[in-house]
Structure formats: C-alpha cells, structure tokens
Structure 1
Amino acid sequence: MKKIAITFVSALFVLTSCKNETKQTTAVETQQEEVIAPFEDKMIETAVLYEANIRQYSPEGTFEAFTRDIPQLKELGVKIIWLMPVYPISEKNRKATGGGFVAEIEDEAERAKYLGSYYAISDYTDVNPEFGTKEDFQNLVDTAHENGMYVILDWVANHTGWDHHWLTEKPDFYTKNDKGEVIDPVDPNTGESWGWTDTADLNYDNKELWEAMTAEMKYWVEEHQIDGFRADVAGEVPTEFWEQAIEEIKKTRSVFMLAESEKKDLFNNAFDMGYNWEGHHIMNAMAQGKMGVKEWDAYMVKIDSIYGQDDVLLNFVTNHDENSWNGTVKERMGDASETFLALTYTLPGMPLIYSGQEYDMNHRLKFFEKDTIPKTKGEVWPVLVKLGDLKNNSTALHGGKDAAGYERLTTSANEKVLAFKRSKHGEELIYVANMTKAPVKFTMDVIGNFDDYFQSATISIIGAQEMEFQPWEYKILIKR
C-alpha cells in the first residue's frame, strides 16, 4: 500500500536529515500522483467499463483476490473498473433469498448463509470486512492505477440500511409516514413500496443531508484517490443534489460520473454518462423475436432527438440486476448473444462487461448470499479481447462527448438486417448483422474494400452484390 510506504520513507529520513526527508518524501508522493493521469472527457471515447462484483468474483470474495486479476483485465481493453458497493451491510432487516428477512429464519446455520444486499449500507466511509481491510482496498485502487485503469465506486444516495448511524443521530435525514415512522423507499408515482424493505428512505428536502452525503463522497476521493462514482437509482435523488455534490467533489480532483438513469436533466451539469436501459430492453426483445430492426431504428431516431451531442449512454448485454433478476445472457438472448455483444461495442457510447461475462457465465448469481463466477476462459474471452482492442484503438468507434458519427445504411432487407456506419477523421467502420433466426439474402448500399475484422480477411463489396448471412450472423468491416 503506497500510503504506508510513504509514511515509512518519511520516518526513515527524519532519523537522518529533515531537509533530505522533505526532498525524498515529496519525490515519492509526486511519483504516486503521476501513476495515472487525471480523468478527462477524452478518455470516455475509447473506454471499456468493467463491473466488479467483489463478493462473487472469487471463492474468497475479497479485494485481494480481485486485485490479483486486474492486470489481465487489460487484455479486455478495460479502462474503468466499477466496484459494486464495498461498504458494510446492515444486519437489521437483512434480506434472504426469496424476499423474506433473515431474522425470520429459525435455523442458525441457514441464517448465516445470508450476507445481505450490497445496497443496504450501514456506513458510507468504511469497507465490508468480508472483503478485507481499507489497506486491501487501497491496494486494489493503486494496482488499477498502475495498470492504467480508473476506479469508480457504486454510490447509494437514495437510501441507507437500517443500522446506519444517521437513523439515531440524524433521524430528520429520513422520510417518514403520517405516524412519524421512517419508511423504506416508495415509487413516487404510486406511493407504493419498491420492495426494498431492507433499506430506509433518505429525505432530500433536508439540505443538511446534502452536506453530509457530499462529505461522505469526498472522503473516498480525498483519502483513497478514487476516480468517480456510479450512482445507484440516480433519478430518484434530486438532480440539484448531484449537481452541487459533483461541483464540490471536483474541487479536489476530476471525476467520472455514471448515473443509473436515463433522465435527460442528469446529463446537463452532473453526470458524464447514463444507462441505455431502453436500448438494452429492445435488444432483449429482438433476440426473443418480439421486436425487430424496425423498432431499433425508431429508437435510434428517438435518442438522437432527446439527447445532446455530448450525452453518453452505457451499452450492455448484462449487469448485476439483469443477471440476478432477469436471467443470464444466454437465457435472454440465446444464439443472438454474441451479435448483441458486438453491437454494444460498435454503438455510440461505452460498453460494459459484468463479472463472469468474460468467462461464459451461464447462471444467475445469488444476490443475498455467497456465490462464485466461473474462471475458465471459453468462447467469450477471445471475442472480448478483439472487441476491446478495436474499441480502444479505432477512432471510428469513439463513443464519448466527441463521438464518431452513426449512419444507418440501407439494405434490401431493412427489417431483417441492421447495418450502420461509424466514421470520424477519415476512419470508417461498418456493423452489419442478420437480426433474425433464419438465413437472409440481401444487398447493401455500400461499395469498397474492407477488412473483415473477425475473419482476418479482405472483402470487396459492390452495391448490387448479393450476400447471405446465417441466423444472427454479424460482421465488423473496416474500410481500407
């Protein structure tokens, strides 16, 4: 851990020369700061994001076990690591698989299985002891920085666990019912509980809460050099809170902010990127034959009219919510899985890898208890290596605030074949895919010579030339 090393160096030089100590200590600290450059907007253009589920990533479920694998994430083109919540989890009202409370389980051994939800936090400025120590956490951050990766923390500003000290020290931080009782979060449209009964809802009408929450976020930036936050259910917290909090945090250092939301106003002065939830749901429906290319095209027109040129969306085929609650990639997308995986890398925006996805994980990870992802490289790993390299290095795939252009290409089978061109600074790339479970023959309004990226072959396309793609076949073509 670098901080311990710096302290040791300082103590050593005190024994020799105060003057020498100052010079040497400053040199060490400067070296640490320069391990990775401050985060800038341009870094969004080529980045791949990795969501790390520390509990389930390894049999140990520790920071240390994940840290050992950070260097090989470079093979996948990962530039940003998002850590799911690393904080202590409340024991009061802790949930078990199936939705009941752990306290209701009579068998002691059965109760011990349930570790609770990461999102029921008892202390924002500590780490879950099951994962390790703060020194272990710092080593993870330092190792990521040494390998050219930024680290963002999952931040749960909407609610706390029922053991959080604010419940006794600052009860006015919480939402209460007519009886003066603190409640769990509710749907603002219906007033009905979301079902997150292991958490207590925070009341942002109280501006003192704004100050306290901002200070908790700044702690991690100032003390542990983290590079930003992924904000859980960001749209359920006032946009004005996020704007003032992020402005304050950026006085310390530049940070990358990801909102689990599609709300347009979050992009104005707060977040760098939001979730492409609607696009993801359309992908699922297309893979299941419930929607087609026509619906996808309409969606792309829609987001072009809603969002600004510098608004960025996160593209994904899975994440912790989708995997645990809605099914694995194979369950939801079947034979179309790789086709849509490649789509998430070639669309404007940033692609996401979720722990286990790179190892062909085909089971739903348990959410409230210990589970483990597979660790055998199969079919998906080499595909992610190729896609990551392309995303990191192709100007035509820039996906951030200065994104490459997106142009839908016409084919003779427009409702079955999705084809589009990405281009920037003279570089061009085409994604073309049969989005059906049957073979399709078509022509494409394209002329030129291209490198078939995955086949390592050169092909020539003439506008009237007929092509045949098998079910869910796709190609990434790079203009020569």
Structure 2
Amino acid sequence: MNTHTPRYPALYEVNARILLRQLARIAGRRLTLDDVPDTWIAKIAECGFSWVYLMGVWETGEAALRVSRSNEQWLTGYRGLLPDLSEEDICGSPFAVTGYSLHPDLGEPEELTRFRERLHGEGFRLMLDFVPNHTAPDHPWVREHPDYYVHGTAEELARNPQEFTRVNQPGGSAVSAHGRDPYSGGWPDTLQLDYGNPALQDAMIAELRRIGGQCDGLRCDMAMLVLPEVFRRTWGREMEPFWPRAIDSVHREHPGLTFMAEVYWDLEWTLQEQGFDYTYDKRLYDRLRDGAARPVREHFWADLEYQNKSVRFIENHDEDRAASVFLPEQHRAAAVLGFLSPGLRFFHRGQFSGRHKKTPVHLCRDPEDPADPAVEEFYRRLVACLRLPAFRDGEWRLLDCNPAWEGNPSHDGYIAFAWERGGERFIVTVNYAPDRGQCYVPFPWADLAGKTVRLRDLIGEAVYGRDGAGLLSPGLFLDIPGWGRHVFEVRPEEG
C-alpha cells in the first residue's frame, strides 16, 4: 500500500448494496464483495482518490426492513423514483444496524478484509460507517442489555407515538424511544441508545475498537448527537463526554485510524477539538447552494487548521444531487470552489455523471438517470487538477479581488485562491454570481516582476501571456460571465 497520505485527500462514496446489485444484474447472478472487478477498482484509482467510503456494509435486521417496506410516506417516495418498484428493491436503512459484521447479502465476513486489501493494492484506504446514536429495533442488546436504551412511559407513548414504541423484552414489554435529534420526530426503524449509562459508553467503545480492525477510517453518523449538550437538549439527561475517551481508546489499539464526523449546527470545531480528523462542512455547502459569493468568500477566512479538517462536498447520500440543486453553470462553479479549497474532497457515486435523482438509503436500486456528457467532461478536467501535487500537498491562500474601476461593484462576486508547491503555481478564480462581472486579482509572487507569464486554463481552453509586473499590481484583469471559472497554471518565463 502506498503509505503517502496527501494533506488534502479525495474520497469516493459508493453504496455497497447498490453497487453489487447493479453488477449482479449485468452478470446475471448473485455477487459479493469478492466479485467486484479489479477493473472497477482500477477505474476509481485513475481518478486519484485516497479513500473509498463503502456505505451500507453492516448487518441489518428484519424489524427495520419491515418499517421500510410498510411506511406509506416512504413508499410514495420510492414509487416516484422507481415506477416498477418491487419489494426486493427495498433493503431497509443501512443505519439501522444489528451488528458490525459484513451483511450476509454482501458476502462472508472475510470478504471485507480481502476487499480492503485489494483497495490497499491500488493505494486506497477504506472508510466505513459507525452509527453512535441508535441501533435497529432487533439489535441483540435490546434483549440482552435493555438498560443500554432510552425508555419512556405509557403516557409518553400515547402523547408522542412518533417518538416512542413498545418493545418486547425478557421481563415483558417496555416503552422505548426511537432515535432522533432535538429538532425532528423519531426515526421509526431505530431505538435510541442511552449515553447517560457508562456501561453503554464502554460497550460502544468496544464496538469502535472492533470495527477499527476492519477499516482505515470511520464516518461517524450524526456524531454531534452524542455530545453532552446535544444529548441533554434532546433527552433531558446528563452524560459524560464520549468522543475524547472513545477516540483515544481506539487510537491506542489502531493508531492510524481516521475519524470523520457527520456534523451540523456549527458544532464542527467542537468535534475537531474532541479528536476528529475531519468534520462535514455543511455550512459551505449551504452557502454555495444559496449562490451568494460574499458568504462563501468569508467562509474561507476561517483558520487554516480548521479548514484542513473540513470535508468539502456538494452532494452525498443525505443531500440532493448537485445536478438537481444547482443550475448547470453554478454546479461547475460550486465544484471548483468546493473541491479546489483545502480539506478533504468528498465525491459521491453518480456525481461525475450529472445524475439528478437522489436514491434513498432504504433502496438498493438506482432509478434510471442518463449521464450528462458535458458534466462528465467537466469532472474529468477537475479530477485531473486534483491529481496534481500542488492541489494535494501544496500551500493554499485566499486572494483579494479588487474593483476593476471605481463604481463597479461586480468584484464582490469573485472568489480567488492561489496554490503552490515545488515551483508549481496555480490560480483559481470564480465569478460566483449570476451576472458578468469584472475585477483585478493581484498575484502573490513577487518574483514574477520582469517576466512574461503564461496562463493556461486547466478546465477550459484559454491560454494567455501576461506581464508579470502587471499581475502583481493591479493584478490579473478578469471579465467573465456569471458562474464563470478558471484554473490557471502559472508559468513564468524570462522577460
């Protein structure tokens, strides 16, 4: 395995159940992880990814599956995507876990080890899920350790039937809480774990240590829900901090294991301080989606230590497809800003094809959704940029975008970065606004004075020669349409 981990790695998410079902339909037989072709892995490797996030590998049970196949609101959504929906298309949520072993539908447990070894052979690391907040209703702990769960009363069940349910236990039926967050009703295919119980925390740390031997990194689902202040707000009970002790314990056994947090509500820095290597950057996603440049630019004012641990994305299995959220040109501009900024770059299967239809995690078949060749070509060029050492391990800085002339406010729509490593230099410029705008971007390299500088756009066709002194002051003049973008390779030549 290639031991070099880029400072700014790229991750590729794939739904394991959908991938194997798709390959099985082509092969005409049931397939497991051992049957994933080497050519599939090699094709992903060509894109320069450092991580494969294999979503949905763990054991799930019949109880959650029954919920997924009977919830009428969910079924309506499924049928809207798959008009020919069959029961076999509904696998149940992969986040209603009954055990952290490979799901039998995906193969024998040893196949996960072999799949990881195959990824290592191509220089990948494997990321898997950990679900801290809840389990499936038929997890063994429900009967063996009922004290691990949050319970309620018959009155609470009658008053809030969407948040509680009756569960059969050895001593008789009991009222248990569904997993939830402080702002939404319960998730009916889950039961809530009680982090106020120290024994439960110990049991979850033991699970983490065991999972840590099966992968190189863990995406911790809704990680902020087990922060003491959030748990208190949700359930009105106290708990000792979990993540610092858990991460420290796991690292003693698996020193190199990477922790990535799915996190919202501006709690990213809190989880970074508690030991997470990476945290979701939902705030940047929201600002890119809203389409105003200034909040996006101000987002990049954050301390670089924080940004280096941020997970940049414009879609994933929880968010709608980027091609359906953003206008076509805005999609490309958002991708350039999100993926050519520092941090971990998170890509989702189907994103490179411009798919519009989001597949719920309860399904194991994608809807028909033809590829968009223009989107594919854009991502081909963008991914080629991400393979360059400067964007993987270089030094990044945010640049000024100054008015092109007095009284012209359109410079406020621009965002620009500089990247540099080992003499290689690049300028990223985006007019993140719907209308044409103008600005000057001063370059940060004083040694350009007295030289002619060749600018070649890596995501377009433009090639320019410019005087180095002029690039320093007043800067590179830009006059580009709404959502326009350039990624310029900067090559100085003697004057």
Is 2:33 the partner of 1:63?
yes
1:144-223 to 2 correspondence within 5 Å?
144-179=119-154, 181-188=175-182, 193=185, 195-222=186-213
Cross-structure match for 1:453: 458
Task: Give 1:98 deviation, angstroms.
Answer: 9.0
Distance 1:466 1:46 in 2: 29
Is 2:40 the partner of 1:45?
no
Distance 2:74 2:318 in 1: 21
Q: Residue 48 of structure 1 contacts residue 388 of structure 1 at CA under 8 Å; is this kept in 2?
A: no
Cross-structure match for 1:332: 325
Distance 1:178 1:263 in 2: 34
Is 2:273 the partner of 1:268?
yes
Q: Residue 348 of structure 1 contacts residue 406 of structure 1 at CA under 8 Å; is this kept in 2?
A: no
Task: Give 1:415 deviation, angstroms.
Answer: 2.1
For the structure 1 residues 93 and 134, does the alpha-carbon distance in structure 2 shift closer, same or farther, using more than 3 Å as the test? closer
For the structure 1 residues 441 and 268, does the alpha-carbon distance in structure 2 shift closer, same or farther, using more than 3 Å as the test? closer
Amino acid at match of 1:75: E
Distance 2:403 2:393 in 1: 25
Amino acid at match of 1:268: E
Output the TM-score relative to the length of structure 2.
0.76
For the structure 1 residues 337 and 330, does the alpha-carbon distance in structure 2 shift closer, same or farther, using more than 3 Å as the test? same
Cross-structure match for 1:29: none
Q: Residue 430 of structure 2 contacts residue 484 of structure 2 at CA under 8 Å; is this kept in 1?
A: yes
Task: Give 1:102 deviation, angstroms.
Answer: 9.2
Per-residue CA deviations over 1:442-461 (Å, capped at 9, x if unaligned) read 44334854232234664234
Task: Give 1:427 deviation, angstroms.
Answer: 4.5
Q: Residue 276 of structure 1 contacts residue 313 of structure 1 at CA under 8 Å; is this kept in 2?
A: yes
Q: Residue 157 of structure 1 contacts residue 237 of structure 1 at CA under 8 Å; is this kept in 2?
A: yes
For the structure 1 residues 258 and 200, does the alpha-carbon distance in structure 2 shift closer, same or farther, using more than 3 Å as the test? same
Amino acid at match of 1:156: V
Higher fraction of strand = 2
For the structure 1 residues 375 and 394, does the alpha-carbon distance in structure 2 shift closer, same or farther, using more than 3 Å as the test? farther
Cross-structure match for 1:96: 68
Q: Residue 54 of structure 1 contacts residue 83 of structure 1 at CA under 8 Å; is this kept in 2?
A: yes
Q: Residue 408 of structure 1 contacts residue 421 of structure 1 at CA under 8 Å; is this kept in 2?
A: no
Q: Secondary structure of the equivalent of 2:346?
A: strand
User: Number of aligned pairs?
Assistant: 416
Q: Residue 49 of structure 1 contacts residue 353 of structure 1 at CA under 8 Å; is this kept in 2?
A: yes
Cross-structure match for 2:104: 129
For the structure 1 residues 117 and 48, does the alpha-carbon distance in structure 2 shift closer, same or farther, using more than 3 Å as the test? same
For the structure 1 residues 384 and 113, does the alpha-carbon distance in structure 2 shift closer, same or farther, using more than 3 Å as the test? closer
Q: Residue 80 of structure 1 contacts residue 149 of structure 1 at CA under 8 Å; is this kept in 2?
A: yes
Cross-structure match for 1:278: 283
Q: Residue 57 of structure 1 contacts residue 355 of structure 1 at CA under 8 Å; is this kept in 2?
A: no
* Worse-matched range after superposition: 372-381 or 56-65: 372-381
Amino acid at match of 1:431: V
Amino acid at match of 2:336: A
Cross-structure match for 1:432: 429
Cross-structure match for 2:488: 477
Task: Give 1:50 deviation, angstroms.
Answer: 0.7
Q: Residue 17 of structure 2 contacts residue 56 of structure 2 at CA under 8 Å; is this kept in 1?
A: no
Per-residue CA deviations over 1:80-132 (Å, capped at 9, x if unaligned) read 111213112222143337954999xxxxx9555421111111112x2222222
For the structure 1 residues 233 and 53, does the alpha-carbon distance in structure 2 shift closer, same or farther, using more than 3 Å as the test? same
Cross-structure match for 1:30: none
Is 2:153 the partner of 1:142?
no
1:11-410 to 2 correspondence within 5 Å?
35-37=1-3, 43-58=5-20, 59=22, 60=24, 62-64=32-34, 66=36, 68=38, 69-94=40-65, 95-96=67-68, 99-100=71-72, 111-124=87-100, 126-179=101-154, 181-188=175-182, 193=185, 195-222=186-213, 224=214, 226-238=215-227, 240-253=241-254, 254-261=256-263, 262-286=267-291, 292-301=292-301, 303-304=302-303, 308=305, 311-323=308-320, 328-335=321-328, 336-372=330-366, 378-395=373-390, 398=393, 404-410=396-402
Q: Residue 93 of structure 1 contacts residue 162 of structure 1 at CA under 8 Å; is this kept in 2?
A: yes
Distance 1:267 1:119 in 2: 23
Percent identical residues: 21
Amino acid at match of 1:63: L
Q: Secondary structure of the equivalent of 1:168?
A: helix
Q: Residue 102 of structure 1 contacts residue 111 of structure 1 at CA under 8 Å; is this kept in 2?
A: no
* Worse-matched range after superposition: 456-465 or 354-363: 456-465
For the structure 1 residues 184 and 343, does the alpha-carbon distance in structure 2 shift closer, same or farther, using more than 3 Å as the test? same
Task: Give 1:234 deviation, angstroms.
Answer: 0.5
Q: Residue 411 of structure 2 contacts residue 438 of structure 2 at CA under 8 Å; is this kept in 1?
A: no
Output the TM-score relative to the length of structure 1.
0.78
Q: Secondary structure of the equivalent of 1:361?
A: coil
Q: Residue 75 of structure 1 contacts residue 385 of structure 1 at CA under 8 Å; is this kept in 2?
A: no
* Worse-matched range after superposition: 155-164 or 460-469: 460-469
Distance 1:406 1:442 in 2: 15
Q: Secondary structure of the equivalent of 1:250?
A: helix
Q: Residue 117 of structure 1 contacts residue 368 of structure 1 at CA under 8 Å; is this kept in 2?
A: yes
Q: Residue 397 of structure 1 contacts residue 404 of structure 1 at CA under 8 Å; is this kept in 2?
A: no
Per-residue CA deviations over 1:127-146 (Å, capped at 9, x if unaligned) read 22222222332221111000
Per-residue CA deviations over 1:6-48 (Å, capped at 9, x if unaligned) read xxxxxxxxxxxxxxxxxxxxxxxxxxxxx453xxxx7241311
Per-residue CA deviations over 1:49-78 (Å, capped at 9, x if unaligned) read 111111223513853454541111111111
Per-residue CA deviations over 1:323-348 (Å, capped at 9, x if unaligned) read 3xxxx212111221122112222111
* Worse-matched range after superposition: 146-155 or 359-368: 359-368
Distance 1:278 1:294 in 2: 13
Distance 2:313 2:476 in 1: 33
Amino acid at match of 2:49: V
Task: Give 1:293 deviation, angstroms.
Answer: 1.2
